[in-house]
Structure 1
Amino acid sequence: MITVTDDTTIGEALQAAVERYADNSLLAVPANPQRGYAQQGVEISYRDAGRQIAELARVYADAGYGLGHRVALLLESRPEHMLHKLALNTLGICCVPINPDYRRRELNYLIDHSKADLVVCLASRLASIRESLEDTAHQPAVVALDEQRAAGSLTSLPKAARAAQAGAVNADTPASILYTSGTTGQPKGCVLSHAYELAAGKWYASQPGFVSIQEGRERLFNPLPLFHVNASILSFYCMLLSGGCQVQTDRFQPSRWWEEVASSRATIVHYLGVIIPLLLKQPASPWETQHVVRFGYGAGVEPQLHAVFEQRFGFPLIELWGMTEVVRTISDYTSDRQVGTRSFGRGMPGLEVRVADEYGESVPSGTPGEMLVRYSAETPRKHFFSEYLDDPVATEKAWSGGWFHTGDVVVQDPDGLLHFMDRRKNIIRRSGENIAAAEVEAILLTHPKVQGVAVMAAPDAIREEEVLASIVLVPGVPADDAICSELFDFCQKEMAYYKVPGWWWFTDEIPTTGTQKIQKHRILAAGQEPTALAGIRDLRTRKKRG
């Protein structure tokens, strides 16, 4: 295992891993003849990755990019994303991943807010970047990579418009800015340091019990996208520090899952709750009996499906809790784990937990409350996210009272075991994506025919939750199929497909308080399911990636 201290940088850890695990595979892509690249699959050794990363770093440095610069990457979930990220981090450049599902408005926000110095994208994404730059105040340079030879097609770059900062890369240098949905509208830019990213991998690689990592022997299959913390940081650095290989597929496909898992010789798989019922609904396949998976690591499996999945496919699903702001995960990795419940483990040294009421006071065992976390009383923020970019007020609010406020409601047993109860306020969790209701509401309110709107979560048997929009139209506009279709198409143009409401309900009035704050809980009668509202329209089948 690579030794990581509080002072280690990503470049130093990478160099040590290349030297120690040279002949091992670091990155792999499973074969898929239907994919637009690497149809036969790819294996990249630590030695080859080191060479490619060094060459990419030379190209960036020759163009004047270095400490303090930010480079946005729109390279989807290809291995090139990680090669470029590591090259950037080696030079002290901060990586800003771009969600490939972002639409023009969302791209505009990310470019302006992050103030990226350069955008590196696939050639197929160049047009969308250029369209966004027509609207942005900030104007970064842009370079497109050839689709078929993306790793080796970067031979030169436009010169950096500003000089790199003086000094050396250190553990506190920003390595990534990941955009996460908040409850107040636009996503927050979560700044993660070199220390954070390496500590995430070290924590995962050091877990005991079911989650124990075997040095140089693991192949971790991750179907989650590289613009998320799970794949690009948590699992990747676990593999890097332990000599393992990250098997990165482009996206989750239920019909191909077992073939890709088995043929790639994966020993670990990552999952989200939405994946489990989809796999259980697949017809039996020889591939599902040929895998060598030791455990699955993820969150959100429905209690009634947990044991069913394990019995059919022959390995444990280890439930965890985590979020972008928090370097460490909590997981139920012990032999007495409670399969079929929403338990996800206990706090421990390095990730202390307290369950509190709305005033920040601890609640008794068995009482629901918000989960607060910290590293320790002496150094509460150690290895957590550095800040919300350019938002010190939000950063300090999140750390009120010396604890990070997760916003997640849990119940704690007397022995410390934690059980998940509810989602964060005003956040909709759809197929692993966190969607801010306020962001969807803000977009709908820009439509000239919408007078008022309240967006909330509706339960979904496949995707966990779906977006539901309750809408008051301006006087004179009929609440018919035509306006519903018009608003759906409007949203499709303005936001990533998964944020678009799948359920639509038109009403004459949305309940508010005396100070005109919307009371979403009053839209429904006691015990009423949102999808049972009279006249509700179901447009879920129209939601498609663009």
Structure 2
Amino acid sequence: MPETARHYDIPAGEITYQAARKSIEALKQAYQNAGYGHGHRVGLLLENRPAFFLHWFALNALGVSVVPINADMRAAELTYLIGHSEICLAVALPQRHAGLAEAAQQASRPLALIGPDDAIPAANCAAPLQGREINSQTECGLLYTSGTTGRPKGCILPNEYYLHCGQWYATVGGMASLQPGKERMLTPLPLVHMNAMACSTLAMVTTGGCLIVLDRFHPRSWWDTVRESKATVIHYLGVMPAILMKAEPSAQDTQHSVRFGFGAGIDRSLHEPFEKRFGFPLLEAWAMTETGSGAVIIANHEPRHIGTSCFGKEQPEVEVKLINDAGQDAKADEHAELLVRHAGANPRYGFFAGYLKDEAATQEAWADGWFHTGDVVRRDADGYLHFIDRKKNVIRRSGENIAAVEVEAVLLQHPAVKAAAVAAVPDAVRGDEVLACIVTAEGIQVDTADAREKTAHDIVKWALSQLAYYKAPGYVAFVDALPLTATNKIQRGELKKLAPTLPDTPECVNTCHMKKRQEPA
């Protein structure tokens, strides 16, 4: 689209499958000549640009796994990702090379760096799996998802995962039916997430449709883009309808070609008003990076129980089990943890292959032969599933999962911080916002409003230099002590109760205005 093309400073227009294949074949040959092959990993920091797709498919054709790198990542995150994933090359925007090089040095990892149009340097090591067959179980993507007890986990995604995403979407039917060769799917979601990378991309490739990828969600120009692109399907996050509903109603609200939206997290009170105003259904779905489409659940048939956080009921190929706090099968309307698996001989079909370098976490997630999602849901008397909350300690802000412990680890590095604990507080637009409870270090005075504001701003400025902007605290509350267990661990339950009471108190500084998408450091 022209707006995205201007932002990226690239030509606007469409790329045919034939032209894309020609470019992919040329890149594949160049990578192969440079010694890249089965078992290598290559990072892609290319945002939502066309180059992402070309390098991705060229590398996968050789058995090379791609590691999408979020452009919002900063020093601490990049150092961890490079070291943990062991990427040997990063194809990145030139303005990010210096930061990646510094992070690689911090991680003590050799890393070659090129731009999307640069010559490909020789691989710095032989392909680890050279000579082995490339098949459905070959790793072709490594996506990082927020952990709840430590660093983000690397989800190993095989070819089967991506192919099944496309096949599922192409055949799910109902209100989400795709017409082969006719759909134009618009997504503003980032290619570093499975929704855009696996669901949207493979759905269009599988059905021969047109994928329209934006750099991000632009509220003011959204409907102009929808109309100009002739989009028939849109992908959304819950924050998008909330923002769009704030605009003044217009006679053009229903002048578009959209048949349905696919997403999750819409505010229950906005679901019906949005559909009435804009004239198409928003189909709420549930899935995780780990499950892929192996256990996706979607409300693609009536009744959809709009306004109840219902995401449908499982299809025959998905098995669901709800376990209450007592470890027993939940009764109707009882809040319980959602456990899922694929039906049939292979319960892990379509799922991730495991967490990189963390077999213990993989086995824990698959305890007793079921994938434990950590999400709390309820099943009504008619069998429909309704999302309640996240059991795990994850903050979900505007569709981004944020691990509290990751943010805490960065905050603790600031000299003014003695102890830190992070929790979610409600936000009318973003769902959750990040609140940090801070116990200041000895000698740091926060007994006046000016002192609290200055210290809070310094802490958040530090966090913004180390973390993606959305992970930094939107509120900093200065407290005398954190709620701790007898073994000095944070009492998450008590913190969850405390956090919503702190905004708008004298001890709490609102730093939401500091959380803006940043230019490269």
TM-score exceeds 0.5:
yes
Other structure's SS at 2:374 match: strand
> Contact 1:171–1:195 at 8 Å: present in 2 too?
yes
Distance 1:169 1:192, change over 3 A: same
Counterpart Cα distance in 1 of 2:498 and 2:47: 43
Code of the residue aligned with 1:474 in structure 2: it is: A
Distance 1:57 1:424, change over 3 A: farther
Counterpart Cα distance in 1 of 2:435 and 2:185: 35
1:319 and 2:284 are equivalent in the alignment: yes
Match of 2:363 among 396, 402, 414: 396
> Contact 1:200–1:234 at 8 Å: present in 2 too?
yes
- 1:162 maps to 126
- 1:335-365 deviation line (CA, Å, top 9, x unaligned): 2111111000112222211111245431111
Match of 1:353 among 320, 334, 344: 320
1:376 and 2:348 are equivalent in the alignment: no
Other structure's SS at 2:15 match: strand
**Pairwise CA distance, 1:119:** 0.8
Distance 1:283 1:128, change over 3 A: farther
Matches within 5 A, 1:124-203: 124-145=95-116, 153-163=117-127, 165-203=130-168
> Contact 2:394–2:403 at 8 Å: present in 1 too?
yes
Code of the residue aligned with 1:118 in structure 2: it is: L
1:273 and 2:238 are equivalent in the alignment: yes
Tell me which moved more, 172-181 or 321-330.
Answer: 321-330
**Pairwise CA distance, 1:158:** 2.9
Match of 1:240 among 205, 210, 214: 205
> Contact 1:219–1:266 at 8 Å: present in 2 too?
yes
- 1:9 maps to none
Other structure's SS at 1:327 match: coil
| Structure 2 residue runs without a partner (length 5+) | 447-451
- 1:433 maps to 400
Tell me which moved more, 158-167 or 399-408.
Answer: 158-167
- 1:300-344 deviation line (CA, Å, top 9, x unaligned): 111110111111111000000111001222111112111111000
Matches within 5 A, 1:135-534: 135-145=106-116, 153-163=117-127, 165-284=130-249, 288-328=253-293, 329-358=296-325, 360-376=327-343, 378-479=345-446, 480-523=452-495, 529-534=501-506
Matches within 5 A, 1:37-52: 37-38=9-10, 41-52=12-23
- 1:209-257 deviation line (CA, Å, top 9, x unaligned): 1101111100100100011100011111011111111100001110111
> Contact 2:337–2:391 at 8 Å: present in 1 too?
no
- 1:241-284 deviation line (CA, Å, top 9, x unaligned): 11111100001110111111111110000000000111111234
Code of the residue aligned with 2:255 in structure 1: it is: Q
> Contact 1:201–1:234 at 8 Å: present in 2 too?
yes
Counterpart Cα distance in 1 of 2:25 and 2:329: 50
> Contact 2:408–2:421 at 8 Å: present in 1 too?
yes
Code of the residue aligned with 1:237 in structure 2: it is: L
- 2:35 maps to 64
- 1:168-211 deviation line (CA, Å, top 9, x unaligned): 21000001000000101210000000001100111111112110
> Contact 1:271–1:296 at 8 Å: present in 2 too?
yes
Distance 1:135 1:378, change over 3 A: same
> Contact 1:95–1:176 at 8 Å: present in 2 too?
yes
Code of the residue aligned with 1:50 in structure 2: it is: R
Counterpart Cα distance in 2 of 1:542 and 1:324: 29
Tell me which moved more, 502-511 or 343-352.
Answer: 343-352
1:73 and 2:40 are equivalent in the alignment: no
> Contact 1:31–1:38 at 8 Å: present in 2 too?
no
Match of 2:72 among 101, 116, 141: 101
**Pairwise CA distance, 1:33:** 6.6
**Pairwise CA distance, 1:290:** 2.9
Counterpart Cα distance in 1 of 2:160 and 2:83: 26
> Contact 1:185–1:442 at 8 Å: present in 2 too?
no
**Pairwise CA distance, 1:136:** 1.7
- 2:449 maps to none
Please report the RMSD computed on the Cα atoms of aligned residues, expressed in angstroms: 1.8
Distance 1:240 1:523, change over 3 A: closer
Counterpart Cα distance in 1 of 2:35 and 2:416: 49
Counterpart Cα distance in 2 of 1:335 and 1:536: 45
> Contact 1:504–1:539 at 8 Å: present in 2 too?
yes
Match of 1:537 among 509, 512, 515: 509
Aligned length: 510
> Contact 1:59–1:154 at 8 Å: present in 2 too?
no
Counterpart Cα distance in 1 of 2:415 and 2:84: 27
Other structure's SS at 1:326 match: coil
Distance 1:175 1:142, change over 3 A: same
Other structure's SS at 2:8 match: coil
Other structure's SS at 1:43 match: coil
Counterpart Cα distance in 2 of 1:346 and 1:506: 44
Counterpart Cα distance in 1 of 2:250 and 2:402: 34
Other structure's SS at 1:531 match: coil
Q: TM-score, normalised by structure 1?
A: 0.90
Code of the residue aligned with 1:135 in structure 2: it is: Q
Counterpart Cα distance in 1 of 2:351 and 2:64: 19
Counterpart Cα distance in 1 of 2:486 and 2:463: 30
- 1:6 maps to none
> Contact 2:397–2:432 at 8 Å: present in 1 too?
yes
Q: In percent, how many aligned pairs have the same letter?
A: 45
**Pairwise CA distance, 1:527:** 11
**Pairwise CA distance, 1:400:** 0.6
> Contact 1:225–1:251 at 8 Å: present in 2 too?
yes
Other structure's SS at 1:361 match: coil
- 1:84 maps to 55
Counterpart Cα distance in 2 of 1:294 and 1:341: 22
- 1:5 maps to none
